Amino acid sequence: MTNSHPDGVLPASFRDPSGFLFRHQGRLLRQVNARYADDLALLHDSGLYDVLIAKELLIPHTDAPVDTAPTPGAVRVLAPELVPFISYPYEWSFTQLKDAALATLRIQRLALKHGMSLKDASAYNIQFHNGRPVLIDSLSFTAYRTDEPWVAYRQFCQHFLAPLALMAHRDVRLGSLLRTNIDGVPLDLAARLLPWRTRFNPGLMMHIHLHARSQQKHADSHDEGNSAKAKTTKVTRKALDGILDSLRGAVRKLRWQPGGTEWGDYYEDTNYTDTSLQEKRDMVAGFLDQTESKLVWDVGANNGYFSRVASEKGILTVASDIDPTAVEKNWLACRRGAEPHLLPLVMDLTNPSPGLGWAHTERDSFLSRGPADTVIALALIHHLAISNNVPLSRLAEFFAQAGKHLILEFVPKNDSQVKRLLASREDVFPDYHLEGVEAAFGDLFEVKEKARIAGSERTLFLFKRRAGVNE
């Protein structure tokens, strides 16, 4: 659960003086301050709100009683539709970030057509909701003022264009720079890391390389000449359309082709025959039916084959994997199939997303966004216990924090995948066996189901967290 201050104000919601999010009697609400009253009225009166809702680009909101506002100065209180699981840009695959970027530009173009403009272009304001990127901050719009440059241009380039360019032109793993830089990838860093040939790409040349140079040149904010230049820069509406078109072209041209990796073709190279794969799927489905889940985390989900057991039942399923290729494939499949209940994310479970930002509270850690009703961990335990040396008892503690139920596949030492892990190292895991797992998990979980998966040496468990544990 997201942390909040005693007055209910969400700790991440402090940057924009227009308003903030708070919790009130279990509901997530947004206080709108007086300074934003005119812009909010314009959002509705201009027709922009209705257009964005119709196009599923903005999270809908209704009005809540203004006396629920926790601080003075409120003119309205909004009740936005709840996004059940918040994810962050450093957890998105390449195309997820690209889709979020294009959605932001599309919103900005529509805003301009209605006499408004985005005053921020933070990737954190976009969430994947019902399988689509949507803007979750209704207070992001301001009245467009004639000939004003786009105030969020720098933020758009830092949050979207720079990381996408680095992922496409240098290495897809550089998306993780968004984790170390809370306000996006600094453009001078992006310019240094990008291959020299990107200077021949007009979009990247202008919006990253020249942009970075301009930032460097005008870095001295105490220089009166610099601040005068900022105040006198004029961008006509037509020229602004041109800039947005150029940004859109630059983003659309960025492509990353998932290459064959260790895990990319996992389901084409497993220890299962088609029959036993189907049987395992049926077993997972049967176990899941006993849990009455609304939120499932499938950790080590690969391309989401088993995640779909849950998501196709209408359960919101977060399908995380360490491999950007697998997650990319999963997201591309989600888009093709328009799957509203599946959210693929890049996540290294041995080093999951921490709490980040001011006082560690602006971006929630992975675990604090739980617990899930059910965690699915298939063909994963050997990677955590053997490759990463995590004792089984510590694994049990982690899973007891992560979910109320756990569907766990145990992969024994005589399985070829485990043999491969142990081939090049000493076996220092005397407790790694079926009885060892039951003993390690027994204090925190009760075994609801336990069954051998036909055609393999593996065992599938359904664990239920014991009453009183992490409640």
Nearest to 383 by CA among 346, 437, 420: 420
Q: Is 109 in the site for another protein (CB under 8 A)?
A: yes
Least Å from the CB of residue 139 to another protein = 10
Among the residue ranges 66-74, 195-203, 306-314, 440-448, the one whose residues contact another protein (CB under 8 A): 195-203
Do the Cβ atoms of 330 and 298 come closer than 8 Å? no
What is the 3 state secondary structure string of 223-280?
CHHHHHHHHHCCCCHHHHHHHHHHHHHHHHHCCCCCCCCCCCCHHHCCCCCHHHHHHH
Residues in the chain: 471
Least Å from the CB of residue 49 to another protein = 15
Handedness of CA 107, 315, 393, 414 (dihedral sign): negative
Cα–Cα distances in Å, from 433 out to 381, 386, 418, 430, 457?
A: 11, 12, 12, 8, 12
Among the residue ranges 76-84, 203-211, 320-328, 444-452, the one whose residues contact another protein (CB under 8 A): 203-211
Report d(CA 326, CA 334) in Å as an integer: 12
Residues between 276 and 305 with contacts to another protein, criterion CB under 8 A? none
Least Å from the CB of residue 119 to another protein = 6
Q: DSSP letters of 144-210?
A: --TT---TTHHHHIIIIIHHHHHHHHT-GGGGGHHHH-TT---HHHHHHHS-GGGGGSHHHIIIIII
Residues between 244 and 283 with contacts to another protein, criterion CB under 8 A? 245-246, 249
Q: Total residues at the site for another protein (CB under 8 A)? A: 57
Candidate residues 76, 114, 159, 207; the one interacting with another protein per rule CB under 8 A? 207
Q: Is 236 in the site for another protein (CB under 8 A)?
A: yes
Structure tokens at 298: 């499938």
Residues between 74 and 103 with contacts to another protein, criterion CB under 8 A? none
Report d(CA 91, CA 320) in Å as an integer: 9
Candidate residues 3, 71, 214, 273; the one interacting with another protein per rule CB under 8 A? 214
Work out the number of other CB atoms within 10 angstroms of the CB of residue 454.
13
Candidate residues 41, 63, 84, 233; the one interacting with another protein per rule CB under 8 A? 233
Residues between 5 and 34 with contacts to another protein, criterion CB under 8 A? 15-18
With H, G, I as helix, E, B as strand and everything else as coil, classify residue 124. helix
Least Å from the CB of residue 237 to another protein = 10
Least Å from the CB of residue 45 to another protein = 18
Q: Is 215 in the site for another protein (CB under 8 A)?
A: yes
Q: Is 53 in the site for another protein (CB under 8 A)?
A: no
**What is the helix (H) or strand (E) element at residue 334, kind and residue range?**
helix 324-337
Q: Is 238 in the site for another protein (CB under 8 A)?
A: yes
Q: Is 242 in the site for another protein (CB under 8 A)?
A: yes
Bridging pattern class, strands 126-129 and 132-135: antiparallel
Candidate residues 37, 79, 235, 332; the one interacting with another protein per rule CB under 8 A? 235
Least Å from the CB of residue 74 to another protein = 17
Report d(CA 4, CA 9) in Å as an integer: 6
Candidate residues 13, 68, 176, 226; the one interacting with another protein per rule CB under 8 A? 226
Structure tokens at 347: 């996540």
Rank residues 153 and 263 by Cβ distance to another protein and give the closer one. 153
Q: Is 66 in the site for another protein (CB under 8 A)?
A: no
Candidate residues 218, 281, 464, 466; the one interacting with another protein per rule CB under 8 A? 218
- Cβ partners under 8 Å of residue 349, min gap 6: 299, 300, 320, 322, 380, 384
Least Å from the CB of residue 407 to another protein = 40
Structure tokens at 382: 């050997």
Residues between 113 and 152 with contacts to another protein, criterion CB under 8 A? 113, 119-120, 142, 145, 147-152
The residue type of 160 is F
Among the residue ranges 221-229, 441-449, 452-460, 462-470, the one whose residues contact another protein (CB under 8 A): 221-229
Candidate residues 5, 24, 106, 448; the one interacting with another protein per rule CB under 8 A? 106
Among the residue ranges 123-131, 173-181, 198-206, 351-359, the one whose residues contact another protein (CB under 8 A): 198-206
Q: Is 336 in the site for another protein (CB under 8 A)?
A: no
Q: Is 438 in the site for another protein (CB under 8 A)?
A: no
Least Å from the CB of residue 108 to another protein = 11
Work out the number of other CB atoms within 10 angstroms of the CB of residue 194.
22
Structure tokens at 87: 């994810």
Q: Is 189 in the site for another protein (CB under 8 A)?
A: no
Report d(CA 88, CA 127) in Å as an integer: 8
Structure tokens at 374: 């059910």
Chain positions contacting another protein, by CB under 8 A: 15-18, 51, 106, 109-110, 113, 119-120, 142, 145, 147-155, 157, 200, 202-203, 205-207, 210-211, 214-219, 221, 226-227, 229-236, 238-243, 245-246, 249
